[in-house]
Amino acid sequence: MKARLAAFADPSLDGREGGPVEAAEAVVQELTVVAAARIQTRRCRTAPPAARPPRAAPGSAPGANLLTRMQAEVHAPETRAAAPAAGRKVERFLALDAYRGLIMLMLVSWGFGFGALRDHPVYGGIAAQFDHVPWEGAVFWDLVQPAFMFIVGVAMPFALAIRAQQGATFGANARHVAVRALKLILLSQVLISVSGGGLRFQLINVLAQIAFTYFITFWILQLRWRGQVAAAAGLLAFHSALFFAFPGPEGAFSKEGNIGQAIDAAIFGRPTGGYYVTINFITSAVTTLFGAWAGLLVMSPRTNAAKAKIIGLASVAAFLISFALAPFIPNVKRIWTATFTFYSAGWVLLILLAVFVVVEIMGYRRWTFPLLIIGMNSIFIYSVHMILREWLNRAVGVFTGGFRWIGDLAPVAQACAVLLAMWSVNYWLYKRKIFFKV
């Protein structure tokens, strides 16, 4: 169980008075009461010495056990005498495992083969949802990466709480986060180079972007609540200000020659492909931070119904903010504008809400098993998808004939067969308790 909890944290791998925005702020403020306090180790005043956390002695690293202290604040706000490291274990939520597996399924599905049906008179509308929009606007496929980065944030409070219960200090956690971020960048470069057939260095790959957002989110979580909000607002404002201050040929958010492309050309000698830019991590870090706040909410002792209500209100708030920003900042995923940050967060929260209600409130759990198999080895299946998918497509095609005999939906059937082959390998690893982590 501990191994699976740790695997859940892999980034490779989801009203109060005053309105929805105030409600979300009040809830997260309550949940992050410790992250809002100065990062220092406190001795328990009423607990017997034997119940005190083993790393709480004088001279221990400041900020140790951030999430452990968060639990202490939530469960004993008056005395602050609880010792969560020696108390109850971090609860596991199947909905979050299922959510992560669902997002990974989308990520490695290759659009379920609908890309070949873009011009089909019947299936063309569906196919359009499985391909990125050229520039402004968003469809379903544009929400997959934000959902992936969001679930990385959701996992962070759980992973840090587990490490806290194992006695990790703040310094140990900081080193762990830094090393993991570097490993993700290295892995992203290996996958890009191998899949591209030559050495290439760029930082727009989803794993490289997650490395940055994961690192940034960890440090933002060390701030007080107001500091976290200010940091999120500052990142969004700074990103937007860069584009306004250095406009391209078509304006601030020009498709060609924008500041993001100029920075990439200066660093790498060329703009990266697909109009994506490296500085997307500035705003996508806020997406990961939103996920961390959602993780803190789910970890709280509130009822599942209350958690679902808050997630729904937060989704509404995100949509409202995105609509308010749209007249000034376009909704563009390829440069991850502030408007897209909130717009995608609204949809990602809705997906999380749906999964949470079905699994944790309604109790329908058995259907999640195939998703759990994917989520438990998300790094492995993502790597296979990046490097071996074309080979798998040919190998599976030997036995399926590309499903040409079924007609127009042959590409969809073939893509699903390849996906089933990758899932089967993940299942084989699961049965042997083999899990790959970064």
300 and 31 Cβ atoms separated by less than 8 Å: yes
pLDDT for the residue numbered 58: 42
Write the single-letter amino acid at 60: S
Helix (H), strand (E) at residue 215:
helix 206-220
Kindly report each contact of residues 110-115 with a partner whose C-beta sits within 8 Å and lies 24 or more positions away, as own/partner: 110/385, 110/389, 110/415, 110/418, 110/419, 111/141, 111/415, 112/412, 112/415, 112/416, 112/419, 113/411, 113/412, 113/413, 113/414, 113/415, 113/416, 114/411, 114/412, 115/411
What's the alpha-carbon Rg for the chain, to the nearest Å? 22
Can you tell me the distance from the alpha carbon of 226 to that of 37, in angstroms, rounded to the nearest whole number? 11
pLDDT for the residue numbered 88: 60
pLDDT for the residue numbered 66: 41
Per-residue model confidence as pLDDT tens for the chain (438 residues): 444 434 434 433 333 344 443 444 443 444 444 343 333 333 333 344 444 444 444 444 333 344 444 344 333 333 222 233 445 677 789 999 999 999 999 999 989 999 999 999 999 999 999 999 999 999 999 999 999 999 999 999 999 999 999 999 999 999 999 999 999 999 999 999 998 888 888 899 999 999 999 999 999 999 999 999 999 999 999 999 999 999 999 999 999 999 999 999 999 988 888 899 999 999 999 999 999 999 999 999 999 999 999 999 999 999 999 999 999 999 999 999 999 999 999 999 999 999 999 999 999 999 999 999 999 999 999 999 999 999 999 999 999 999 999 999 999 999 999 999 999 999 999 999 999 988
pLDDT for the residue numbered 201: 87
The DSSP bridge partners found for residue 251 are 248
Instruction: Please give the model's pTM, rounded to 2 decimal places.
Output: 0.80
pLDDT for the residue numbered 384: 94
Q: What are phi and psi of 12, to 5 degrees?
A: -70, -45
In this structure, the number of other CB atoms found within 10 A of the CB of residue 71 comes to 25
pLDDT for the residue numbered 296: 96
313 and 20 Cβ atoms separated by less than 8 Å: yes
CA 144 from centre of chain: 10
What does the DSSP assignment read for 21-82?
Answer: HHHHHHHHHHHTTTTTS-S-----SSS-GGGS-TT-STTPPTTTTHHHHHHHHHH-TTT---
205 and 188 Cβ atoms separated by less than 8 Å: yes
Collapsing DSSP to helix, strand or coil, 174 comes out as helix
> Which residues touch 252 (CB under 8 Å, ≥6 apart)?
243, 244, 258
**Shortest CA distance to 127 belongs to which of 143, 351, 135, 119?**
119
Can you tell me the distance from the alpha carbon of 189 to that of 199, in angstroms, rounded to the nearest whole number? 8
**Shortest CA distance to 66 belongs to which of 96, 36, 28, 30?**
36
Write the single-letter amino acid at 378: S
**Shortest CA distance to 231 belongs to which of 213, 217, 252, 251?**
217
